[in-house]
């Protein structure tokens, strides 16, 4: 759409999208002329609507004289948003304060989905930091009893994993601090995959003699299991009830959308494609490439810190959604999750 007539038709499309999102009602030409200062006669608007309909941007629901946007219409609308209108300073600081008071990673992410679901009135999804992007920040070794150790692995993304190691023979204070040193030295500061390899190498270097190397061997086995990527990457969901408030928007397919959210695989796939912090991606209806999500739209981005992506996050809702508002909220929450986790 380039010429002035096309520009005007786009204004008509924009008005139809805005009104339909706000009112849920199909929009007629008369209403458009009354509500929007389009600066042309209703005959022109009717003509524009006929062209938009012929080109597949709007369609007429069977029972109504009005028109509603199609997936193609929403796509055109989203593609023409020049930039995402940022939230106001007070909205931003409210988001930041709420997330900053999170106690730990779990709490920050729980707050993020709760907040995003409230702000957008859709379903919010946040993926836990993928382990493949994390490094080991610190390893703590605590003797619970002389023959039982607690290993605590802390990653730079704020994940804390605790594992118990049963030793064959008890070890003394001296061996305990040596163990802490050897394991910490092998792990700390390394990405998880490299850390896992380094721990395995340790065992080989020590050559497996005596009580100390037995302790290292047992601790290493447990650590390697902890450090290797968990395939059941976790997702947090918030606001599922928001979908059921707009049942009509999904036609008869709300159930399949809810099932897709429950299965998580579909959603993880959508989040995995999203690997650039600061860039918001919108997939409308069939663009989600998931049969179950054909009546839904997914707005996603990545969150992270210092140029590193931790995971994906976003919102699932009906195709009739407030795209500019949803995109702004997703972008803002992502920015602050990254900041809060990066400053820990």
Q: How far apart are CA 13 and CA 6, in angstroms?
A: 10
How far is Cα 274 from Cα 95, in angstroms, rounded to an integer?
A: 22
pTM metric for this prediction = 0.79
Is there a contact between 87 and 328 (Cβ–Cβ < 8 Å)? Answer: yes
Instruction: Name the pLDDT band for 188 (thresholds 50, 70, 90).
Output: very high
Percent of the chain predicted with pLDDT > 70: 95
HSE of 57 in the Cβ direction (CA atoms, 13 Å)?
Answer: 23
Domain with 62 in it: 2-78
* Buried b / exposed e along 101-136 (16+ C-beta atoms within 10 A): ebeebeebbbbbbebbbebbbbbbbbbbbbbebbbb
Residue closest to 236 by CA, chosen among 127, 323, 130, 135: 127
Q: Which two tokens stand for residue 241?
A: 């009830």
Claim to verify: residue 26 and residue 71 sit in the same structural domain: yes
Q: Where are the alpha helices (DSSP H) in 70-209?
A: 71-79, 89-100, 105-120, 173-187, 192-206
Residues 38, 137: Cα–Cα separation, whole Å: 58
Q: State both tokens at 25.
A: 């009602």
The pair of structure tokens assigned to 337 is: 């999750």
Largest CA distance in the chain: 92
Same structural domain for residues 21 and 119? no
Residue 8 to residues 15, 21, 50, 84, 100: CA-CA distances in angstroms?
A: 11, 20, 13, 22, 45
Average pLDDT over residues 235-258: 87
Task: Tell me what pLDDT residue 271 has.
Answer: 84
Instruction: Check whether residue 257 and residue 119 sit in a common domain.
Output: yes
The residue from 195, 226, 257 where one domain ends is: 226
Residue 262, token pair as written in the block: 């429950």
Report the domain count for the chain. Answer: 3
Question: 36 with 10, same domain?
Answer: yes
How many other C-beta atoms lie within 10 A of the C-beta of residue 77?
A: 22
CATH assignment at residue 185:
3.30.390.10
Q: Which residue has the higher pLDDT, 24 or 62?
A: 24
Q: Say if residue 118 is in the same domain as residue 163.
A: no
* Whether 310 and 273 share a structural domain: yes
Q: Are residues 114 and 236 in the same domain?
A: yes
Pick from 27-36, 169-178, 258-267, 271-280: least confident: 271-280
**pLDDT at position 230, please?**
59
The pLDDT, as a whole number, for residue 152 is: 92
Number of residues that this document lists for the chain: 344
State whether 152 and 206 are in the same domain: yes
Which of 308, 307, 304 minimizes the C-alpha distance to 337? Answer: 304
Same domain, 123 and 138: no
User: Which among 226, 253, 269 is the end of a domain?
Assistant: 226
Could you tell me the CATH number of the domain that includes residue 46?
1.10.10.10
Query: Where residue 248 sits, what CATH number does that domain have?
Result: 3.30.450.40
- Judge if 247 and 298 occupy the same domain: yes
At residue 23, the pLDDT reads 93
* C-alpha distances in Å from residue 13, one per residue of 58, 135, 148, 237, 295: 8, 48, 68, 33, 20
Using alpha carbons, select from 223, 163, 162 the residue that is nearest to residue 198. Answer: 223
Residues 289, 170 within the same domain: no
Nearest C-alpha neighbor of 113 from the set 126, 103, 104, 129: 126
Using the 3D structure, point to which of 60, 78, 96 is the last residue of a domain. 78
Distances from the Cα of 123 to the Cαs of 45, 109, 120, 252, 279, in angstroms? 36, 14, 8, 18, 20
Do 120 and 140 lie in one domain? The reply is no
């Amino acid at each position: 759409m380039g010429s002035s007539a096309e520009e005007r038709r786009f204004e008509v499309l924009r008005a139809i999208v805005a009104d339909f999102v706000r009112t849920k009602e199909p929009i007629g030409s008369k209403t458009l002329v009354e509500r929007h200062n389009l600066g042309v006669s209703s005959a022109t608007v009717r003509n524009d609507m006929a062209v938009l309909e012929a080109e597949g941007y709007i369609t007429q629901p069977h029972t109504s004289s009005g028109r509603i946007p199609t997936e193609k219409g929403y796509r055109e609308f989203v593609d023409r948003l020049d930039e995402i209108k940022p939230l106001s300073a007070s909205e931003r600081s409210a988001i930041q304060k709420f997330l900053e008071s999170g106690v730990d990673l779990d709490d920050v992410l729980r707050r993020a989905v709760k907040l995003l679901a409230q702000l957008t009135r859709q379903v919010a999804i946040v993926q836990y930091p993928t382990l493949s992007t994390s490094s080991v920040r610190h390893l703590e070794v605590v003797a619970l009893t002389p023959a039982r150790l607690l290993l605590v692995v802390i990653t730079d993304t704020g994940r804390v994993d605790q594992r118990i190691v049963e030793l064959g023979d008890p070890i003394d204070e001296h061996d305990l601090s040596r163990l802490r040193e050897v394991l910490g030295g092998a792990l700390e500061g390394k990405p998880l995959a490299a850390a896992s390899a380094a721990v395995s190498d340790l065992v080989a270097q020590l050559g497996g003699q005596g009580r100390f190397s037995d302790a290292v061997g047992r601790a290493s086995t447990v650590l390697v299991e902890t450090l290797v990527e968990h395939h059941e990457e976790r997702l947090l969901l918030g606001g599922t009830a928001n979908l059921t408030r707009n049942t009509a928007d999904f036609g008869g397919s709300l159930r399949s959308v809810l099932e897709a959210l429950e299965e998580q695989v579909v959603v993880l796939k959508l989040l995995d494609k999203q690997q650039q912090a600061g860039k918001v991606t919108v997939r409308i209806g069939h663009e989600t490439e998931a049969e179950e999500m054909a009546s839904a739209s997914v707005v996603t981005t990545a969150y992270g810190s210092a140029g590193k992506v931790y995971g994906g996050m976003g919102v699932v809702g009906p195709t009739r959604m407030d795209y500019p508002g949803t995109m702004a909220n997703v972008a803002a929450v992502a920015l602050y999750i990254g900041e809060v986790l990066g400053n820990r």
